[in-house]
Chains A and B, each alone.
Chain A
Amino acid sequence: GENVEQHPSTLSVQEGDSAVIKCTYSDSASNYFPWYKQELGKRPQLIIDIRSNVGEKKDQRIAVTLNKTAKHFSLHITETQPEDSAVYFCAASMGGGSQGNLIFGKGTKLSVKP
Chain B
Amino acid sequence: GAVVSQHPSWVICKSGTSVKIECRSLDFQATTMFWYRQFPKQSLMLMATSNEGSKATYEQGVEKDKFLINHASLTLSTLTVTSAHPEDSSFYICSASPQVSPLHFGNGTRLTVT
Residues of A participating in the B interface, judged by any CB pair closer than 8 Å: 34, 41-46, 49, 89, 96-99, 101-107
Contact = CB atoms under 8 A, between A and B. Distances in A.
A43 B36 CA distance: 11
B93 interface: yes
B34 A101 contact: yes
Contacts of B49: 101
Interface stretch (B12-20, B66-74, B77-85, B101-109): B101-109
B42 interface: yes
Nearest to B4: A43
A98 B106 CA distance: 15
Interface residues of B, number: 24
Contacts of A96: 100
B108 to A, nearest CB: 5
8 contacts: A34-B103, A42-B107, A44-B105, A46-B104, A89-B44, A98-B100, A102-B103, A103-B46
B97 interface: yes
B32 interface: yes
A97 B95 CA distance: 11
A34 B105 contact: no
Nearest to B106: A43
A97 B46 CA distance: 14
A98 B103 contact: yes
Contacts of A43: 93, 105-108
A97 B107 contact: no
A43 B108 CA distance: 6
